[in-house]
Amino acid sequence: MNLLFEKVILIGVTGGVAAYKVPLLVRELKGRGAKVKVILTENAKRFVSSQVLSIFSDGVFDSLWEDDIPHITLSSESDFFLILPADYNIIGKAASGVADDLLSTTIAAYNKKILFCPSMNPRMLENPVLIKNIEYLKSCGHYFLEPSKGPLACGVEGKGRLPSISRIVLEIEKALSPKTLEGDLCLITGGGTVEKIDPVRCLTNESSGKMAYYLAKYCYLSGGEVELILGKNTLNLDPDLPYKITLVNSAEEMFNKILDRWDEVDYLFMSAAVSDFTVNPKEEKIKRKEELVLELKSNIDILKELKKRKKHQFIVGFSLEKENLRASTLEKMKEKGCDIMVGNFVSSIGSEESAGIIISKKGEEEFNCSKEELAWKIIQKIK
């Protein structure tokens, strides 16, 4: 699902060090099929080259006077407008109605929401004048991407960095998505659970957590509040992602973390591969011997336990099967109280692709696609 395909994105760049990241963002957006136009302020040109940007983008603009009324054409022909980095000056100008160059005049002529991505020194960020200007712009319907924390170009450590390119792209995609889950809490489990055998050994599985990652993405783009509970996984998660992430080991721990949030949850996506067996762990490392018999005992079935506590929650389960996919998925759907059960073959575990069947109370659909596409299909079905 490519929300950026053929969309016209307008980026206003102001004079902050983070302007050097704009060509990377432009490349990323172009790679997804968007048309990208860039407005540079005079100060922005000190931090990013308009020559580099003209190679990557579909046009770089910096003057009110070169073309025919560029502020009107640029503002009316764009699907989305973001200011990145947004410095102290442009936020002040936008809030007080100053229009004295191409960027500020285009802001004045734009009649949809603008995304401001501030990046500056922490003392400037805490300035009450800036805070008041941001509040005012928010009250006009505009919105802001919180800067992240870390080492800053001015030599201090703190809040003020531009978030990662993937975080910014996610925010642009969100602005272009239908908000079917606005205000809903989406709790997503993923990865494989880990049952301790002794201090250094464990019982786990090949789950990567990818399904949970893509579900989180599309829940967020649809306006949901996202919380992830992850077991062992191979995800290299961007620290700027706007999700609350809780890491767990055992099935018991995962169950308790879900219970902590259960009353607030609107949608539960149980994509974790939960171990069906657990072990009474030994306190000391087990020594090598000729033969070792591990005694496994049945583990908690999280979904079955949640079925007893189900009230308003909508539950999506995932069944992993080697044969009789449809029948087994249907059976598990009833047994575990799921509203949707996604049946997939064992080859899906750890893979980027998945094949199987989505069964809901309204019907069935077979799929053979990437996990990202599957996540989108599931989100489409839940509302």
Nearest-10 Cα torsion for 163, 165, 170, 175: 80
210 is an interface residue for ligand CTP by CB under 6 A:
no
Q: Which of 14, 317, 372, 375 binds ligand CTP (CB under 6 A)?
A: 317
265 is an interface residue for ligand CTP by CB under 6 A:
no
202: which strand partners? Answer: 196
My answer on whether omega of the bond before 85 falls inside 30° of 0, hence cis, is yes
Among 84-92, 107-115, 223-231, 315-323, the segment contacting ligand CTP (CB under 6 A)? 315-323
Give the gyration radius of the chain's Cα atoms: 25
320 is an interface residue for ligand CTP by CB under 6 A:
yes
Is 202 one of the catalytic residues? Answer: no
Which positions ≥6 away from 373 have C-beta within 8 Å?
A: 1, 367
279 is an interface residue for ligand CTP by CB under 6 A:
no
Between CA 25 and CA 67 the distance in angstroms is 25
Q: Which of 61, 81, 220, 318 binds ligand CTP (CB under 6 A)?
A: 318
276 is an interface residue for ligand CTP by CB under 6 A:
yes
- 3 state DSSP class of 249: coil
CB of 339 to ligand CTP, least distance (A): 12
274 is an interface residue for ligand CTP by CB under 6 A:
yes
Residue corresponding to tokens 């009450």: 128
332 is an interface residue for ligand CTP by CB under 6 A:
yes
CB of 319 to ligand CTP, least distance (A): 4
**Direct distance between the N- and C-terminal alpha carbons of the chain, in angstroms, rounded to an integer:** 17
**CB-based burial label for 287 (10 Å; 0-12, 13-18, 19+):** exposed
CB of 336 to ligand CTP, least distance (A): 6
Which of 154, 202, 219, 369 is the catalytic position?
154
**Interface with ligand CTP (CB under 6 A):** 251, 270, 272, 274, 276, 299, 301-303, 317-320, 332, 336
